[in-house]
Chain A
Amino acid sequence: DQQVKQNSPSLSVQEGRISILNCDYTNSMFDYFLWYKKYPAEGPTFLISISSIKDKNEDGRFTVFLNKSAKHLSLHIVPSQPGDSAVYFCAAVVGAGSYQLTFGKGTKLSVIP
């Protein structure tokens, strides 16, 4: 049973446009969500997070939106750059102090120059 789902295995976006990556979850106990970026041959790198008490968190070009009632979150990248091309993982935890991340399968973003 997959508790964190990223239903789009891949996404292609033109440079300068918006990239929207989606994530759904089923476990209502999750209360902290994170996005990681992973380049080939490297480990995942933390990108941005959001607590369930918020519906939006912004950091530069990256914004994460959380819709608790729909159990859905999304990552917006504006404007998209070729260096953003990577695999993006959505992850969730029960309790921000927990270390046990539950990951989705990832979405491979390709930003086309």
Chain B
Amino acid sequence: ETGVTQSPTHLIKTRGQQVTLRCSSQSGHNTVSWYQQALGQGPQFIFQYYREEENGRGNFPPRFSGLQFPNYSSELNVNALELDDSALYLCASSSRAGVGGYTFGSGTRLTVV
């Protein structure tokens, strides 16, 4: 059973650019959530997808958007990057209701310069 895999592991972008981060859910998981973890902070909920529909969103602007595909993999897109977007982006998947079933990936470290 494979876990949650995220790509790339690291990347550097310039302010104003756009970025796409990818997540492959654990086999059998149909729900995926994305979190942003800034340096020295705990992870902060961005949004959640269930069966290709967004069904929960945290306090993030619309330039943060996502997709979930039929195979339950997911993308996080961020437009018009700002310096404060520099963070570790974590993807988590689950096959059942409740956060106890979450499996987190190792994250993508995004640096905006």
The segment out of B12-20, B39-47, B61-69, B75-83 that lies at the interface is B39-47
User: Which residues of chain B from 46 to 76 have any CB-CB distance to chain A below 8 Å in the complex?
Assistant: 48, 56, 58
Complexed CA–CA distance, A49 and B99 (Å): 10
**Distance of B101 from chain A, by nearest CB (Å):** 8
In the complex, what residues of A have CB within 8 A of residue B33's CB?
Answer: 99-100
Chain A residue nearest in CB terms to B4 = A43
Contact for B94 among A4, A45, A99, A102, CB less than 8 A? A99
At the interface, yes or no: A70 with Cβ under 8 Å from chain B? no
* Given known A-B contacts A99-B56, A99-B94, A32 and B41 have beta carbons under 8 A apart: no
At the interface, yes or no: A93 with Cβ under 8 Å from chain B? yes
Which of B40, B42, B45, B103 counts the most A-chain CB atoms under 10 A from its CB? Answer: B42
* Given known A-B contacts A43-B4, A43-B90, A45-B104, A99 and B43 have beta carbons under 8 A apart: no
* Given known A-B contacts A43-B90, A97-B97, A103 and B107 have beta carbons under 8 A apart: no
* Given known A-B contacts A43-B106, A44-B90, A100-B48, A49 and B100 have beta carbons under 8 A apart: yes
Chain B residue nearest in CB terms to A104 = B42
In the complex, what residues of B have CB within 8 A of residue A102's CB?
Answer: 45
At the interface, yes or no: A53 with Cβ under 8 Å from chain B? no
In the complex, what residues of B have CB within 8 A of residue A97's CB?
Answer: 97-98
Complexed CA–CA distance, A102 and B58 (Å): 10
Chain A residue nearest in CB terms to B43 = A103
Q: Is the CB of B42 within 8 A of A103?
A: yes
User: Which residues of chain B from 84 to 105 have any CB-CB distance to chain A below 8 Å in the complex?
Assistant: 90, 92, 94, 97-100, 102-105
**Distance of B58 from chain A, by nearest CB (Å):** 7
At the interface, yes or no: B25 with Cβ under 8 Å from chain A? no
At the interface, yes or no: A111 with Cβ under 8 Å from chain B? no
Q: Can you identify 12 A-B contacts, CB atoms within 8 angstroms?
A: A43-B106, A43-B107, A46-B100, A89-B43, A96-B97, A96-B99, A99-B31, A99-B102, A100-B48, A100-B56, A101-B35, A101-B99
